[in-house]
Structure 1
Amino acid sequence: MTYLAHGGRAQLGALWLGCVGWTLTAVALGLIQWRVWLVSDREAISSGVAWVGVWRACFNSHTHVTPGFGVMHCEPIGLTEAFTPPEIAAGQVLMLLSLLAGLSGNAGGVYALRSVYFGAERSSSVRLAFVTTGALCLLAAAMSLVPLLWNLSSVATNQTIGFPPEFKMPPAPESQHAGSGIGVGMVGTVLMAVSGVIFCTYRLPARSRHLDSASPERDNPAFESHEHL
């Protein structure tokens, strides 16, 4: 089945892109620097900077310290909390679903490439495996893009969050900007999307298409001529 391997070199690179994109998406989900708040009240927020992530809000403080976080005070953001804005709730759900779809897509890419390089009964099944893999990668990219763009829009319009008193966060920041969490997530999303497109554009080599179209039960004319002799 070496003739199939000749057409899978781009998809091998796509698998690498998909793995890197999935890893960056996972890293972005864990970062707290999605939205960076700049505040003037430094009584609690000593550095004047607070970070709002998908799962928690944090800031450095000399007066309020969370055990295990050094000089940082952090409070978790729950999915069902009344103060949780919809863009952050969407991030918690869609980013996790994106990781699941991306993991399934990368696993499908490994299976498809294994069929290409180690042989498959019918090359048409390889084409289907690549298309399925590409669809999963594109789905993962779409699901992560929604909360990323939504939070970026909230930053651009300086939207505030009504945190409860125990968060020690001000009612509104003086200004805010997008943090590294959104940037890392965007890069991961782009890589997943490019990976999905490359997987979907896989085409069977001409020789493979010809062999698949030929019927395996067709009699060999040369063999028949020897039979008559």
Structure 2
Amino acid sequence: MTYLAHTAHSQFGALWLSLVGWTLTCMSLGLVQWREWQVSDRKVVTSGVAWVGIWRACFNSYTEVSEGFRNMHCRSIRLQEASTPPEIAAGQVLMLLSLLVGLCGNAGGVCAMRSAYFGLGKNSSIRLGFISTGVLCLLAAVLSLVPLVWNLSSVVTNQTIRFPPEFKLPPAPDSQRVGGGISVGVVGSVLMVVSGVVFCSYRLPERPEPGREQLHPSRSSPSEPENLRVVSSTGRDNPTFEIQEFF
């Protein structure tokens, strides 16, 4: 089998990018700060700020606790509820699929790197493994970017969410802005895209055509004896050799 470790250095870096991107996607999925609502009515939302994620809606409140302390009030956002907006419902489904596909892509990348560095399997199977890994990374990035961009658009256009009464949130915020959850998810998706492109760009080394030999310019051919007689313009005569030749 052809030695291929030196051909996969870029893919080794892409594997690290993919792992970091997948980790950031996991973090984005768990963060509640996808949307940051500014609320003027502070009777319940005493901090004036509420956070809306794809799984929960939370806010800090200083009511019903001792003075100087605060309590975070959170409610779960369920997929089957009629009040759940479509962009959040899509985020719950597509982000989980993105994690699953990204995990398969990273596992495939580890197997492909192992085959390339340790000379396991055929050359064609190694290239197919890298391409499959790249496709899975790109698919994972697309699956996560769809809900991220959708929720980002909802924030920019100041879309409202009519939560049930138990959420204790107003039907519309005074203003809202993008939270850290969307930012982290976008960075992770971009890293997955870059790694997928690098994986798909892997190429096997070209094999020399049979019957063709590349001669080193410093080597002389037996059929060309004149190449053996090379006189250096900077050389000097050996006087000892001349004396021995004279006698």
TM bracket (short chain): 0.7 to 0.9
- Name the residue aligned to 1:24: 24
- Name the residue aligned to 1:154: 154
Between Structure 1 and Structure 2, how many residues are aligned? 206
The structural deviation recorded for 1:6 is 1.0
- Name the residue aligned to 2:38: 38
| 1:171-182 matched pairs, under 5 angstroms | 171-182=171-182
Structure of greater Rg: 2
- Larger helix proportion, structure 1 or 2? 1
TM-score for the superposition, normalised by structure 2: 0.81
The structural deviation recorded for 1:64 is 5.8
| 1:126-165 matched pairs, under 5 angstroms | 126-165=126-165
- Name the residue aligned to 1:9: 9
- Name the residue aligned to 2:75: 75
The structural deviation recorded for 1:210 is 6.9
- Name the residue aligned to 1:223: none
Distance (Å, rounded) in 2 between the aligned partners of 1:103 and 1:111: 13
Matching residue's letter, 1:148: L
CA contact (8 A) 1:64 1:73 kept: no
Point out where structure 1 has 5 or more consecutive residues left out of the alignment: 212-229
Let me know the Cα RMSD of the aligned residues: 1.5
CA contact (8 A) 1:44 1:64 kept: no
The structural deviation recorded for 1:3 is 2.6
- Name the residue aligned to 1:123: 123
1:8-56 deviation per Cα after TM superposition (whole angstroms, max 9, x unaligned): 0000000000000000000000000000000100010011000000100
The structural deviation recorded for 1:121 is 3.2
DSSP 3-state at the match of 1:151: helix
DSSP 3-state at the match of 1:3: coil
TM-score for the superposition, normalised by structure 1: 0.87
Matching residue's letter, 1:74: C
Structure showing greater relative contact order (alpha-carbon pairs closer than 8 Å, 6 or more residues apart): 1
| 1:84-95 matched pairs, under 5 angstroms | 84-95=84-95
- Name the residue aligned to 1:50: 50
DSSP 3-state at the match of 2:120: coil
Stretches of 4+ moved more than 6 A in 1? none
- Name the residue aligned to 1:216: none
Point out where structure 2 has 5 or more consecutive residues left out of the alignment: 211-247
Distance (Å, rounded) in 2 between the aligned partners of 1:10 and 1:210: 27
Matching residue's letter, 1:52: V
Kindly indicate whether residue 185 of structure 2 is the aligned counterpart of residue 188 of structure 1: no
Matching residue's letter, 2:148: L
1:174-199 deviation per Cα after TM superposition (whole angstroms, max 9, x unaligned): 00000000000000000001010000
| Identity in percent | 70
The structural deviation recorded for 1:71 is 1.3
